[in-house]
Amino acid sequence: MLFPTPENATAQVSVKALPVTAEGAELKPTQAAGMRIDCVLDRCAHDPASIETNLGKNLAAGMDASIEIIAGEGISFGGGAGKLLTDGKLGVTRIGAAASSAPYTPGKPLAGRFGVDFGKPTELNTLVAHHGTFNGSGIIYPPTEMTIQYWDGEKWQDVANAETTRLPDTATSTCFDALTTSRICVRVERPEGGRLAMREIQAYQVTDEERERVAALLAERAVTTWTDYFLISHEGPGLRKYGQFSFDGEVAFIRQDTTGKVIQASIKSGGALREGGQFVIGSNMQHDYVTAVWQGESIYIDCPAPDSLVFRAQGAREVRHGDKAVWSAARQDLLILGGNVARLGLGIHNPVVDLHPPQEGLHGAQPWAVVTWQTHRPATTQVEFTTDDGLVRRTILDTELVTDHSARVEFLRPDKDYTFTAISADRVGTRSQQTAKAQDASD
């Protein structure tokens, strides 16, 4: 299983298949599948980029600066470019605020040093470098490799025990063993060429107490444990049992904490998700999608129509859809939405399938179709299309409520006959669908 983890984090993940049945008969994984995924994530309690260090006085401010070209024949920096490195202007959104080499040399390895001369022996242990140059839309040409060096009176030496943290806006903060020097620099390399560029260099002597405080925050760990359940049907909606869950739709996701409390659940093309016979999400009708997140005394939901839904309460007192609270009634451990909405049928009229052949002269081109229809009140837009391979495919659900509907269906096969079904749902979740038969898409 692929399980992305943050930097400096470790994860323990185990996966177990759930038994899946329909009407008491066991189903094959090609028909429907369920998985239980147990996760333990050990990570830094604090994002290093979010920890603010009290750096103290910027020792490089207003000091003389220099630029040395190590590799890159024919490149140069304009006169006075070094002054830009210590003028206090970070140049995050300002053109011309960086010392940048010219001409542009793609594919030519470049290397150089951006340095600060303190004019006298100075003690420091931290350097912040603001890399690259702003081009009007973003910061470009940061170094591929970077090393902090100091002048020992005869030559440049790498600082000891350097630890670099990436900061916003293409900047870095590097702390190292305290040293005393009259000059400090950032040695940069760009093997891919382009330009060498630096916007600002800042140097600091951070106190031992502050460094210890930051180190303690960086060492603090946070361990999070949870369990995910993933339920999927490959044969369309229908009531099935997945281990301790029952679900009548196509896809469901459930996340529980260590106590078994549901903290997030989603369903697609379904209406009732139960655990041990008790609702997690319930409805007497099929919904295109519903997502619920339990936080404190609120359940935050995302769905086209927040009506005629039931949610496991788990201590929640209200349901919110977007930034608004939705009327709900509490009953045992459930919050029930709607119920007083008068439902009227939603009619689909004049479904038309307009088939288009592959584009001439384009190798690998495939037929496509546009399906149009009307509804007598605003509703969503989606098309389901099938052929004799048994697979059910759908266009992306358009949640905009309209009365004139149009959906483009891509990647049809020229040797197949397709059945297209127009599907719409109004603001209270009333669904309607109507099917139109289309002949061989090569016709």
pLDDT in tens, 230-264: 999 999 899 999 999 999 999 999 999 999 999 99
Of 145, 138, 69, nearest to 105 by C-alpha is 69
DSSP state letter for 58: -
Mean pLDDT for the chain? 92
Q: Which of 201, 217, 233 is the last residue of a domain?
A: 217
Q: Are residues 118 and 99 in the same domain?
A: yes
**pLDDT of res. 438:** 63
Residue 254 domain-assigned (yes or no): yes
Q: Which of 217, 249, 282 is the last residue of a domain?
A: 217
pLDDT, tens digit, for every residue of 64-101?
Answer: 999 999 999 999 998 889 999 999 999 999 999 999 99
Q: What is the mean pLDDT of residues 160-186?
A: 95
Residue 74 domain-assigned (yes or no): yes
**389: pLDDT confidence band, cut at 50, 70 and 90?**
confident
Backbone torsions φ then ψ of 36, nearest 5 degrees: -110, 125
Q: Are residues 326 and 362 in the same domain?
A: no
Q: Are residues 80 and 180 in the same domain?
A: yes
How many domains does the chain fold into?
Answer: 3
Q: Are residues 173 and 277 in the same domain?
A: no
If phi > 0 it is left, if psi is from -120 to 50 it is alpha, else beta; for residue 70 that is alpha
Of 185, 222, 169, nearest to 49 by C-alpha is 169
Residue 57 domain-assigned (yes or no): no
**pLDDT of res. 340:** 44
Q: Are residues 188 and 136 in the same domain?
A: yes
**pLDDT of res. 344:** 66
Backbone torsions φ then ψ of 60, nearest 5 degrees: -90, -10
pLDDT, tens digit, for every residue of 34-68?
Answer: 999 999 999 999 987 788 889 999 999 999 999 99
Range of the domain at 369: 348-438
Q: Are residues 242 and 304 in the same domain?
A: yes
Q: Output the pTM of the full model.
A: 0.65
C-alpha span between 353 and 7 (Å, rounded): 50
**343: pLDDT confidence band, cut at 50, 70 and 90?**
low
Asked if pLDDT for residue 439 goes beyond 70, the answer is no
Q: Are residues 75 and 212 in the same domain?
A: yes
CA dihedral 218, 223, 227, 228 (to 10 degrees): 0
pLDDT, tens digit, for every residue of 291-318?
Answer: 999 999 999 999 987 878 999 999 999 9
Q: Are residues 68 and 202 in the same domain?
A: yes
What's 431's domain CATH number? Answer: 2.60.40.10
Q: Are residues 100 and 191 in the same domain?
A: yes
Q: Are residues 179 and 284 in the same domain?
A: no
**pLDDT of res. 105:** 95
Structure tokens at 283: 């409805």
386 and 395 Cβ atoms separated by less than 8 Å? no
Q: Which of 278, 303, 337 is the last residue of a domain?
A: 337
Q: Which residues contact 150 (CB under 8 A, 6 or more apart)?
A: 156, 157, 159, 179, 181, 183, 184, 185
C-alpha gyration radius of the chain: 31
